[in-house]
Amino acid sequence: MWTISKKFEEAMSCLMIVIGALMASFSVICILIPNDAIDYGTAGIAIIISMLTGFNLSVCVAVVFVPFLVAGTLILGKRFGFKALLGSLVYTVGLSIFEKVPFELNTEHFLAVVFGGAILGAGLALILKNGGCIDGSEIFANIFIKKLFDLTGKNYSMTYILIAFNACVYMAVFVLINRNAALLSLLVYVVATSIINHFTDHFEAIKQVTIITKNPDALVKAIKEELNKTCTIMNSYGAIAGENKTLICYVNYFEVQKIKEIIAQNKGTFSTVSTIDEILR
């Protein structure tokens, strides 16, 4: 059963996702698009479709994101699916609302794009920090590296997959819209991801979870069954607690929330999460 503090924590998490989604939609509609720049990822694809076809932008965003949302829910669980759905709904509604707001940032395109990219990055960082997602490129990268792990047994970073995905988006902007829009949009990506990485400690990198416990069996079993991950188990000794076991497990950013749930269900543990740049074999 959830305690009152746990319910409050979840409510605040959802509130932060709502705020982050509104910040992102405000940035896209009121700053980036009026200054010839677009968002990146699947939102960028939706904007390109909307510009070329004249279809409503919020509808394009929803249609493009839905397949990734379904896949993310199946792969990452219902809790992730709920938060991703919440973020995407608020984001699409925000797009519709801000389209009707008479706001214009009268400054140079370069300054406007940097400012808009910073707001976008801050909004996306809020969403990611609280276990949500409003862009299908991260879900696609997560599914891809999961398949690689199942095939090879090795953990990979999402970095190169996300770079390749967004490179395709910007090439499409360059060819289908114009080169200025492509370059300004690339600047948005650089600024936004810099903000996101600062607040999420490089969400696209591999995460090492270190767990100290006296009863490792239940944790190891749950991690294997729910995440299909294995653990390294080492003997350790605490100055107060005495003999215990140290578990080390490698996961990606979206799996951190799931492993936190597993740890919370097993009392008497101490755990840390750190970012790993590379695993050598």
Tokens 């767990």, residue located: 211
Residues 44 and 91 in one domain: yes
Between 256 and 22, the more confident residue is: 22
**Residue 252: which domain range?**
206-276
Distance (Å, rounded) from C-alpha 221 to C-alpha 262? 10
Give me the phi and psi of 137, to 5 degrees please: -65, -40
Domain boundary residue among 200, 221, 251? 200
- Judge contact between 140 and 68, C-beta under 8 A: yes
Domain boundary residue among 140, 175, 200? 200
Between 89 and 155, the more confident residue is: 89
| HEC assignment per residue over 251-271 | ECHHHHHHHHHHHHCCCCCEE
Beta bridge partners of 255: none
Q: How far is CA 6 from CA 11, 19, 30, 125, 263, in A?
A: 9, 20, 36, 22, 14
Identify the band that residue 2 occupies on the pLDDT scale cut at 50, 70 and 90: low
Residues 247 and 263 in one domain: yes
Distance (Å, rounded) from C-alpha 74 to C-alpha 35? 37
Residues 13 and 91 in one domain: yes
Predicted local confidence at residue 281, as pLDDT: 66
Predicted local confidence at residue 93, as pLDDT: 93
Predicted local confidence at residue 160, as pLDDT: 85
Predicted local confidence at residue 264, as pLDDT: 85
For residue range 162-220, list pLDDT tens digits in order.
Answer: 889 999 999 999 999 888 889 999 999 999 999 998 888 888 888 999 999 988 888 99
Residues 17 and 156 in one domain: yes
- Judge contact between 204 and 137, C-beta under 8 A: no
Q: Is residue 17 part of a domain?
A: yes
Average pLDDT over residues 47-76: 90
Residues 232 and 176 in one domain: no
Predicted local confidence at residue 268, as pLDDT: 80
| HEC assignment per residue over 56-118 | CHHHHHHHHHHHHHHHHHHHHCHHHHHHHHHHHHHHHHHHHHHCCCCCCCCCCHHHHHHHHHH
Residues 127 and 244 in one domain: no
Mean pLDDT, rounded, of the chain: 87
Residues 81 and 181 in one domain: yes
Domain boundary residue among 161, 176, 200? 200
pTM: 0.85
